[in-house]
Amino acid sequence: MPEEKEIRLGHRDFLGWILKGGIAVTLVGFIFPAITYLLPLTHQAPVGSMIDVGMEGDIPIGTAKKIISGGKVILVVHMASGFKAFSAICTHLGCIVDWDDKKHRIACPCHAGFFNPEDGTVISGPPPKPLLSYSIKVVNGRVMVTV
Amino acid sequence: MSKDKIITWLGERFDLGKIQELIGKQVNKPLPKNIGWLHTLGSMSLFLFVSQVITGILLLIYYRATVNEAFESIKFIMTKPYLGWLYRQVHAWGANLMIMVVFLHMLRTFFMGSFKKPRELTWVLGVFLFIFTLIFGFTGYLLPWNQLAYWATTVGTEIAGAVPIIGEWIKVFLRGGTSVGGETLSRFFVVHVIILPWLVFFMIGVHLLLVRMQGISTMERVDEEKKLQMGEGTPFFPHHILKEGIVFYLLIGILITLSILMPFELGEKADPLQTPHAIKPEWYFLPMYQVLKYLPKLLGILILGIAPLLLIVWPFLDKTKARHPGKRPVSVGIGITMVILIIIFGLLGYWAESKRIIFGKEYEFDVYGKPHRIFHETKK
Amino acid sequence: MNTKIRFVIFMLFFWTANSFFAPSAMSNSCLKCHVDYFEDMKASVHSKEEIFCDSCHGGNATQKLQKDAHDVQKGYVGVPDKKMVANICGKCHADVERMNFFGIPTDQLAQYKTSHHGRGLFQKGMNDVAVCSDCHSYHDVVKVNDPTAPVHPLNVTKTCEQCHGNEKLMNRHNLPFDIPEKYKNSVHGKALMEKGDTASAQCVSCHGSHGANPPQVNKIVSVCGKCHINERKFILESVHAKLVMAGKFPECIACHRNHDVGPANLEFYELMCLKCHQKTDSALIQGERILTLLKDSERMMKSSALLVRQAGIDGFFIEDEEAILEEVKTKTIEFRPLQHTLDFEKISKLHVELKAKNDEIDSLLKRKRKDRHARKLALVFIWIFISIMILTLWKRYKQYTRLK
């Protein structure tokens, strides 16, 4: 009889180790993913409907920056009169417009449509409507576009 | 060494013996022999509540309860943070499972007659907990601010408007305005994450305290229950705990599996100008919603209002002594009828306003869930 | 006192009369008899400027008797012939001082004289060519931007068609009469008449209005290039530019045709090049290489659009991919003008850029699908772990119950 009990105890001990280990694994399995979930993201979190374009100094006057965020392509232009932001989708056939460094205009590469970088209106070419514009603000040197 | 030190340090300040005795009493408390797998439904509910609280807190870290941001922040949770999608899915599935488990727990209590003397108050608290779980579901459903949520909430709050005299006022009060909007979202958010969690937390506390104080009900007749002595029955620890552990792992498995294989899609952002076809509330409100369709407004509201009241006062109406379901044919009959009715109305609500192919024939179900055969022009 | 009252009565009468008729229309004696013509011209630009019958038809509008008013000696014209029409209109419209403040150009008559219409009328004495009134109408002339004007962009084709669709008339001048029909089926015609796109080219966009002429071969690129700016720019970079300038090659219309311009199509490479080139030409081989790139780019755009859409249907979030798809679309559209350079280097450079974007979409979506697959795989391990735990717990439970 005592022999039997010992064997059973040995067996129980083995089960005990599995149980203890399993519970430990379960706990780690709960806590570890939660911590990774909490890790700060290098990506830009949705700050309201604002998109952080970057530092003011990154975009000198007379240049532009294209950003892609939330399925939208936005062209930010730094004019002498301040920052402007437009949807970079051309109103003609939906090409992505770009900043023309030499002409200081927004140009569509597809059909030579030109837009006024001050207000997005069509200067020349086939686009039927002005570019959609977004409001843009500079807060503490950071350029923020409101979508 | 250090362990002894801590114990002596604590011992100098607290009466450790007494505390140990108290815990021991609780831990070793014998449970009646008839305790089975169905008795784990209660702790499953508790586990799901805890799971909802934890996943809810995690979601709150990235969630923003405003009209402009709610949808986007959920999308953010589902795409950017590591395992964010899992926490949202576990929270959403947990809510559905919780409603189911709490309801099953209530059914078990009903059919086993556990609600009878002396446990009437535990039952009343339980009914409230069930109702609050439903409100949890209703308020939480709006928070992703997608089309489904928006319109289900619109329909849901519309029902309140049917209450005579004060209905319109209640509706506007619930919505925080004449239509569902940013105010509604804020209200529902506050109810969902502040008011209900604490309310339910304390109610669960009292509910559990009552259960521990009065012990688990047996199948014996009222006033004839024998008090279990130490060493009798099945000990809570470790016997019953092991069973609960099994159920706990099973539940985690089911939750994760559902989350991965049948994820809740986010759908489209709420658009107050575009009403989708066949708006329906969540499945757990479907039976109620369907009942309302058949009845005149006032009668429907009356019946829906009476139903929870009836549940609450049930232990005071049914004062018979028998607990065994076989010995109480009337109440068991009522119970089964109600469950069947709920299932039937739920199914009718589910089928309503949809097209389905049954035995190779196409049927269209109207608003009342009545099928109409669709005949297609046969090509010659 | 009496005179004062009389004056007031007179003034009252004057004011009331004033509100019914403009003073000069009232005093113009032509209108006393020709009420029907006045009905026609009441809404015209001319009557608003108080230009009535006598301004064009001559005669004396101050005379009450028909005989005196219609005095040929005093310059009465009656119904003017075509040559006179041009000159009568030109009398004012070619007068810089007169037109200055209306902001209207004054070169219409000069232009007209250079047109086939004008030369026919003035040099060849043809009497069946179009003159001012044939297009602008006469009594009821309205401004060009008035949608009812026969020369409004939406109506101009119909106006030209009156003559250019007339078989008899065109045969007389040895001109084709099916051009308006051809135009209606062209991309321009459809854009104008079906979509109401007034920016689309119609007759006068290419031929000019008052100076209407068929463009010369070496001017075609300029004519089309007015709207198709990039195409013009790139054509002038192509190997064909010299031939174009020499007037030996009607560049645009060689492939796209003129009045019946159809939708641009890659098949042009296979059909049109052979018009001039031999099958064994090295130029044609180069063309085939370009064609392969173009076909490949169209295929890539379609395939990535399909991939993104399918991913959306499968419940993935595809915002980032959609944004890249916009870039892919841009690059694909950029090919359309760029191919006119027939420069393999430039075209293949754009093709490489497109391919990079296309691959980006592909790899992003693949990663997402792999991720989802990994979740399912993880499920297997989770269940193995859960089964072990459940089994162990159950074993333990059995041990305890057996121990009792």
| CATH label of the domain that carries residue B220 | 1.20.810.10
User: What pLDDT was estimated at residue C394?
Assistant: 92
Whats the size of chain B, residue-wise?
380
B214 CB-side CA count, 13 A = 20
Between residues A141 and C394, which one has the greater pLDDT?
Answer: C394
Residue A9's pLDDT is what?
Answer: 52
Output DSSP code: residue B268.
S
Nearest Cα to Cα of residue C361 among C403, C302, C280 = C302
- Residue B103 covered by a domain: yes
Tell me the nearest-neighbour CA distance from A43 into chain B, angstroms.
Answer: 8
Q: What's the pLDDT score for residue A7? A: 44
How does DSSP classify residue A90?
Answer: -
Average pLDDT, chain C: 86
Q: Which residues from chain A sit within 8 angstroms of residue B68, using beta carbons?
A: 48-49
Q: What is the pLDDT of residue A1?
A: 32
Question: Closest-CA residue in chain C for B76?
Answer: C317
Flag if A34 and B80 touch (Cβ within 8 Å): no
CA distance A120 to A115: 5
From chain A, pick out residues whose CB is under 8 angstroms from the CB of B82: 33, 36-37, 39
Q: Number of helices and strands (H, E) in chain B?
A: 14, 5
Instruction: Report strand pairing: A82-87 vs A133-139.
Output: antiparallel
Q: Taken in order C68, C73, C79, C84, is the CA torsion positive or negative? A: negative
Q: Binning pLDDT at 50, 70 and 90, where does residue C242 land?
A: confident
* B375 inside domain: no
Instruction: Compute the distance between CA of residue B175 and CA of residue B190 in angstroms, rounded to an integer.
Output: 13
Q: Mean pLDDT of all residues in chain B?
A: 89
Tokens at residue C194, please? 């079906």
Q: Which residue has the tokens 């993201």?
A: A41
Does B83 contact A33 at a Cβ distance shorter than 8 Å? yes
Confidence (pLDDT) at C104: 87
Task: Report the number of distinct structural domains present in chain B.
Answer: 1
Identify the segments of chain B with pLDDT beneath 50.
379-380
Mean pLDDT of C163-184: 92
Residue among B239, B260, B265 whose CB faces C379 most closely:
B260
DSSP B130-171: HHHHHHHHHHHHHTT-BHHHHHHHHHHHHHHTTSTTTHHHHH
Judge whether B64 is closer than 8 Å to chain A, CB to CB.
Answer: yes
* ipTM attached to this prediction: 0.87
Read off the pLDDT of each residue in C284-307 and give the average, rounded to a whole number: 91
- With tokens 């009646």, the residue in question is B32
| pLDDT reading at C6 higher than 70 | no
**pLDDT higher than 70, residue A43:** no
Residue C278 amino acid letter: Q
Of A8, A12, A93, the CB nearest to C333: A93
Asked if residue C20 has pLDDT above 50, the reply is: no
Are A125 and C395 in contact (CB < 8 Å)?
no
Q: Which of B212, B161, B243 is nearest to B26 (CA)?
A: B212
Segment C101-142, tens digit of pLDDT? 888 889 999 999 999 999 999 999 888 899 999 999 888 898
Question: Which of A68, A70, A124 lies closest to A100 in space, CA to CA?
Answer: A124
**CB–CB contact C389 B261 (8 Å):** no
| Listed residue (C316, A39, A33) closest to B252, CA to CA | A33
Please identify among residues 303-342 of chain C the ones whose CB lies closer than 8 Å to any CB of chain B. 315, 317
Q: What are the structure tokens assigned to A30, written together?
A: 């709960």
Determine, yes or no, domain membership for B346. Answer: yes
The whole-number average pLDDT for the span C85-111 is 90
**Residue B163 sits in which domain range?**
32-351
Average pLDDT for C312-341: 87
- The SS3 call for residue A27 is helix
Q: In this predicted structure, which of A7-11, B86-90, C323-327 has the lowest mean pLDDT?
A: A7-11
pLDDT in tens, A53-63: 888 888 888 88
Identify whether the C-beta of residue C181 lies closer than 8 Å to the C-beta of residue C166: no
Residues 37 through 56 of chain B touching chain A, CB cutoff 8 Å:
54
- Residues B139-157 pLDDT 10s: 999 999 999 899 999 988 8
Q: Is residue B11 part of a domain?
A: no
pLDDT digits (tens, 9 = 90+) for C26-59: 677 888 788 888 888 888 888 888 888 888 888 8
Angle value at C-alpha B173, between B293 and A48, nearest 5 degrees: 105
CA angle (C234, C240, C246) in 5-degree steps: 115
At residue C351, does pLDDT exceed 90?
yes
Among C389, C398, C403, the residue to mutate for chain B (most B Cβ within 10 A): C389
User: Which SS3 state, helix, strand or coil, does residue B354 take?
Assistant: strand
Per residue in A44-103, pLDDT (tens digit) is 544 556 778 888 888 888 889 888 776 778 899 998 888 999 998 888 888 889 898 888
Q: What is the pLDDT of residue A113?
A: 87
Instruction: Determine, for residues A46 and B64 on separate chains, whether the beta-carbon distance falls below 8 Å.
Output: yes
Q: Look at C375 and B253 and tell me if their CB atoms are within 8 Å.
A: no
Residue A28 predicted with pLDDT over 90: yes
- Chain A contact partners (≥3 CB pairs within 8 A): B, C
Residue A25: list chain C partners with CB under 8 A.
Answer: 385
Phi, psi angle pair for B267, to nearest 5°: 70, -150
Q: Do C393 and B246 touch (CB under 8 A)?
A: yes
Across C110-138, b (16+ Cβ under 10 Å) vs e yields ebbbebbbbebbbeeeeeebbbbbbbbbb
B169 min Cα distance to partner chain A (Å): 32
Q: Which residue of A has its CA nearest to C336?
A: A110
Q: For chain A, give the mean pLDDT.
A: 82
pLDDT computed for residue B142 by the predictor: 95
What is the per-residue pLDDT for B304?
Answer: 84
Give the residue from chain B lying closest to A36, CA to CA.
B82
As a whole number, mean pLDDT of residues C89-97 equals 90
Model pLDDT, residue A10 = 55
Q: Which of A58, C63, C384 is nearest to B249 (CA)?
A: C384
Q: Establish if B245 touches chain C: CB-CB under 8 angstroms.
A: yes
Mean pLDDT of A3-21: 67
Q: Using 50, 70 and 90 to split pLDDT, how confident is the model at A4?
A: very low
pLDDT value at position A3?
Answer: 38
pLDDT tens, position by position, C186-211 = 999 999 989 888 888 999 988 988 98
Cβ contact B61–A41 (<8 Å):
no
Q: Please classify residue A93 by burial: count the beta carbons closer than 10 Å to its beta carbon, then call 0-12 exposed, 13-18 middle and 19+ buried.
A: middle
- Residue A68 C-alpha, separation from nearest chain C C-alpha, in angstroms: 7
Question: Which one-letter amino acid corresponds to residue B341?
Answer: L
Tokens 């069973």 belong to B243
Contact in structure between C164 and C172 (CB atoms under 8 Å) = no
Neighbours of C396 (CB within 10 A): 21
Q: What is the pLDDT of residue C21?
A: 47
Q: Which two tokens stand for residue C28?
A: 């113009």
- Position with higher pLDDT, C5 vs B30: B30
In this structure, are residues A64 and A107 in contact, taking their beta carbons and an 8 Å threshold? no
Domain boundaries, chain C: 1-79, 221-263, 282-366
